[in-house]
Structure 1
Amino acid sequence: DLTDTAAVIKQLDLVITIDTVIAHLAGALGKPVWVMLNFDSDWRWMLDRNDSPWYPTARLFRQPKIGDWDSVFIEVKQALIEFMEFQQNLPDLPTSFELAYQYYQENNLVEAEKICRRILAEKLEDFQALNLLAVLENLAGRNDMAIQILNQVIILHPNSSQAYSNLGNILKKECRLEEAISNYQKAISLEPNDSSNYSNLGFILFQKDQIESAIANYEKSLFLEPNNSQINFNLGHAWQTKGDLSKAIAYYQKAINLRPNYALAYRCLGLIFRGQRNLTVSISHYIKAIEIEPNYADAHFGLAVTLLLNGNLKEGFQEYHWRWQRWEIKKSLSLIQPEKLWDGSNLTGKTIVLYAEQGYGDTIQFIRYLPLVKQHGGQIILGCQKPLVRLLEKIPGVEKILEEGVNSLSFDVHAPLLELPRIFGTTLDNIPPPIRNLNIPEVLPIKLEPPEINSLKVGMVWMTKPSNPTTTKRSCKLRDFQSILDIAGVTFYS
């Protein structure tokens, strides 16, 4: 009969056990329990963690190798000394949560967690301590434990909008969006005047491309909290996505009025004004974003594109170098051995690797710089996309041409093709001419035979590569060519 055992455990400050039955019982009672585990312990305690998703008050001490209890007891002894010191320095229980919350605000999360667990050891159902402990577990990256605690809170306090809201936040972080939506909606039904739940719900709906529903929730959030810069920004972003740029500009500007150092809002305005071909205003907004955050790579990149669009090639390509710091680039492409990036110096006796960086068109556009590179001496190895290898294999001055994958090559210096305009200080006045020495087969694989003698042969391309993220806005329908297809004396090829 474990009833008497439970009664004894209830009176203890701490249980240290090698027996897992006692561990389960103490954990169920919400008592701090330290479990000493052998090397190949039971699946219930999982691996490589010192806590348990089953019992928030449990701490696990594991053998580092089979039979090594000495190491376990050394660790337990030190932990017990620290536990005693901590217990002696704790205030009375009524003030403990205030201290825990103060530690939380000061980012002293370890001490905040210790106090929460002490509170729960004496009062298992304490709402404030459970909620804060869930937040602390989330911040520590232990989301499974945080979710478990919040589900416990909801069972104990089913009308707690805060618990549903906190659970929604963690589920959102875990990308369990449908569950997060359900919890935010429940939180709203319990507390309809909390703006954060509408805002968080709007954010998820935006991620799911339900833009109108996202806007509706953002607007409810803004009604409750009109001077919140983040909500104004989110509305601006939603309206920008929907295509109503005047509303987007208004909300971004309101966000900036509320938070003058809002670099992201300035960058978004820069993008809108560039799309409207208001390049001077666009540039000023990108510059403002960079003044606020000098290392803001996306703002530098936006400025680069706008400067290049405006014909300011020299400064534009200087800014374009920031693309290597953008997260969107870094997740798929990195600048190999940055310390070996060519600086335009003499190449005599050296090998330089030049390589494709972006699309096929970019490679064709920027191989024009190869003769300039060759003037600096040295040997050139060119890495390009597989469909271009045969086309480019007769370019003068190239020692070897390979299918991309240049990382394993031995070389002295290197440069992506799109770095060459920056290295050579390109302006509108010194753009090198295109390479004409492309490898066109003497025997044409396809011979175009127009149905009429002297007919003008016109090729038409109406769609970009389908996998390109900008395909939709850069492509048209084949039927859009209908208006020119009836011109006499012209044969069209698609």
Structure 2
Amino acid sequence: MNSFTQTGAGQRALEAGLAEAAAHEQAGRLDEAEQVLAQLLEAMPESAIAHHQAGIVSHKRGRVREALGRMEQALRLQPDQPVFYRNIAELYRLESRLDEAHEYASRSVSLAPEDAHGYYNLGVIQYDCLEIEQAIGSLRRALLLDNTIAAAHFELAEALLVSGQFEEGWREYEWRFSMAHSPSLLPSNDRPLWDGKPMPGGTLLLIGDQGFGDTIQFSRYIPEVAKRCSTVVVACSRDMQPIVAQHAGIARCVDRWDDVPAFDAYCPLSGLPHCFGTRVETIPAAPRYLHADPQWVSQWRARIDALVPAGYRRIGLVWAGRPTHGNDFNRSMHLQQLEALAKLERVAFISLQMGPTQAEIGRYFGAAPLFNLGAEIRDFNDTMAILANIEQLVTVDTAVAHLAGAMGVPVFLMLPYAPDWRWLMTRSDTPWYPSVTLCRQRRPGHWQGVVEQVADALRVTV
């Protein structure tokens, strides 16, 4: 036997090599990590942990099949290691292979019943399987074992909220700022977090703390906030200001911390449902609370009139969200998957698609004409004006869906099997936006039925 692989020196060399590879991997030096692991596996091909760690690196490099193969090899060499099952379960989840994910995550907790992270991983997978009550049970078990896991609190919040259990859900939702890699809400200060109580004579700073869609959704509370606070200042991105500034009661909008005036308390926009004790039946849902600028509407009407043949219906289309979104693999699709829509007669699709997926339009050959306006959109003023000039929007779960819903534009919102918490479960309508119709996957990852449902609905409304 090679002296390098003997117990003593071999084990020390293995541990040192694994530590070096882990340091490279965590620092983003994936080439170096792969090189170290390749050397380890050449010397010790039976090292389960080296195979597993190589699988993690392969996953980070986007080589999913290779990653799964390496992790499966690790399990064959050491089938009693719970962390191996826990990690490979997450890879299968990201590949929408939920049966395998569920099996491996369950095996992980059976091998390590005191591992809080194992129950957290299982809860995430159970949510994706729409086993919501089971997910809540697993997440509660994780927090019973370790109440400091912020991600488990947040996942519990989503499971509670999607099932309509808002009171506890909003409390758990407040853990989102304690999650790893969560940016600071605002610079260090000694002001308190607002608790929803009236502040006559006081200044409240509201912060657009999440994505565009969340800001649109939760900005609906601003007029009610203004009834309780004398002065309301909103800090949000410049992109959001044409939207946020439409709400009554705002004294000032800023997009730089240096421009924030003195304030007495602060609150993230996404914390307002908690402050107001929102229940499903008390969600403020005006038919429309955002409007496009009439001048922009007129300009875009002329542009669309010049493109769309007379007698064609004008249907907006968005099939993918921002690729960097953590759940984009689940919520987005490819243009070619909209084949059933492309066959519709006397329909013209107006693409509001942004980002790299616009390139898919070059491979579109459907019977229904598709006009790419995404390349001409400069900001949300343009987007709102285009939405004001269409009959209906067909979209996946993106900020445009929120914007259209807030404007009262009819929307067919195509949802994955396990939707974001705000869309609740099973229902085809949403208490957040009266003009939105929810079209849900019947099986994980299967968009065909959803697209056909939308196509049939568009035929009926001719």
Q: TM-score, normalised by structure 1?
A: 0.61
- 2:306 is aligned with 1:452: no
Matching of residues 419-438 of structure 1 within 5 Å: 419-434=271-286, 436=288, 438=290
Bigger Cα Rg: 1
Mapped partners of 2:276, 2:228: distance in 1: 12
Shift of residue 357 of structure 1?
1.2
- Aligned-residue CA RMSD in angstroms? 3.0
User: What corresponds to 2:60 in structure 1?
Assistant: 207
Deviation string 1:259-305 (CA, Å, 9 cap, x unpaired) is 11111111111111111112111111111111111121000111111
Question: Which residue among 407, 410, 418 is the counterpart of 2:262?
Answer: 410
Contact conserved, 1:290 with 1:296, CA < 8 A, in 2?
Answer: yes
Contact 1:168 1:179 in 2 (8 A): no
Amino acid at match of 2:197: S
In structure 2, what is the Cα distance between the partners aligned to 1:262 and 1:236?
15
CA distance in structure 2 between the aligned counterparts of 1:329 and 1:403, rounded to whole angstroms: 19
Of residues 340, 349, 359 in structure 2, which corresponds to 1:492?
349
Residue from 243, 247, 256 that aligns with 2:109: 256
Q: Secondary structure at the match of 1:321?
A: helix
Q: Deviations over 1:42-78 (max 9, x none)?
A: xxxxxxxxxxxxxxxxxxxxxxxxxxxxxxxxxxxxx
1:287 aligned partner, one-letter code: R
1:283–1:307 Cα contact (<8 Å) kept: yes
The equivalent position to 1:272 in structure 2, one of 125, 133, 150, is: 125
1:462 aligns with 2:319: yes
Q: What are the superposed Cα offsets for residues 306-355 of structure 1, whole Å, 9 maximum, x if unpaired? A: 1221122222121110001001313x655864851101112101011112
Which residue does the alignment assign to 1:393? 245
**Aligned partner letter, 1:283:** I
Aligned match of 2:430:
none
User: Which consecutive segments of 4 or more residues in structure 1 shift more than 6 A?
Assistant: none
Answering whether residue 211 of structure 2 is matched by residue 359 of structure 1, we say yes
Q: Partner of 2:281: helix, strand, or coil?
A: coil
Change (3 A) 1:379 1:334: closer
Give the 3-state SS of the residue equivalent to 2:205 in structure 1.
strand
Cα shift readout 1:82-104 (whole Å, capped 9, x = no counterpart): xxxxxxxxxxxxxxxxxxxxxxx
Equivalent position of 1:246 in the other structure: 99
The superposition leaves residues 148-168 of structure 1 with CA deviations (integer Å, 9 ceiling, x where unpaired) of xxxxx99xxxx9574255134
Asked whether the 8 Å contact 1:279–1:306 carries over to 2, the reply is yes
Question: Percent identity among equivalent residues?
Answer: 26
Aligned CA distance change for structure 1 residues 255 and 393 (closer, same or farther; 3 Å): closer
Cα distance in 1 between the residues matched to 2:240 and 2:280: 27
User: TM-score normalized by structure 2?
Assistant: 0.65
Write the distance in 2 (CA, Å) between the matches of 1:439 and 1:231. 52
Cα 1:485/1:241, change in 2 over 3 Å? closer
CA displacement at 1:194 relative to structure 2: 4.0
Q: CA deviation at 1:431?
A: 0.7
Distance 1:407 1:284 in 2: 45
How many residue pairs match? The answer is 336
Q: Is the 8 A contact 1:367 1:435 kept in 2?
A: no
- After superposition, the Cα gap between the structure-2 partners of 1:470 and 1:351, relative to the gap in structure 1 and judged at 3 Å, is same
Superposed, which structure 2 residues align to 1:19-34 within 5 Å? Answer: none
The residue aligned with 2:22 is: 172
Measured in 2, the distance between the counterparts of 1:338 and 1:279 equals 39
> Does the CA-based 8 Å contact 2:191-2:264 persist in structure 1?
no
Q: Does the 8 Å CA contact 1:340/1:413 hold for their aligned counterparts?
A: yes
How far residue 197 of structure 1 moved from its aligned partner, in angstroms, is 3.0
- Corresponding residue for 1:373? 225
> How do 1:320-339 and structure 2 match up within 5 A?
320-330=173-183, 333=185, 337=189, 339=191
Is the deviation greater in 422-431 or in 393-402?
Answer: 393-402
Once the two structures are superposed, what CA deviation does each residue of 1:335-382 show, in whole Å capped at 9, x if it has no partner?
Answer: 864851101112101011112111222112111111221221311112
| Matched residue type, 1:200 | Q
After TM superposition, the structure 1 = structure 2 runs for residues 277-288 of structure 1, keeping only pairs within 5 Å, are 277-288=130-141
Q: Is the 1:161–1:188 contact (alpha carbons within 8 Å) kept by the matching residues of 2? A: no
Which residue in the other structure is 2:335 paired with? Answer: 478
For structure 2, list consecutive stretches of 5 or more residues without a partner in the other structure: 352-462
Residue 446 of structure 1 aligns with an amino acid whose one-letter code is W
Equivalent positions of 1:159-198 (< 5 A) are 160=10, 162-163=12-13, 165-175=15-25, 176-198=29-51
Give the number of the structure with larger relative contact order, counting CA–CA contacts within 8 Å between residues 6 or more apart: 2
Distance 1:369 1:317 in 2: 15
Counterpart residue type for residue 221 of structure 1 = A
- Gaps of at least 5 residues in structure 1 are 1-152
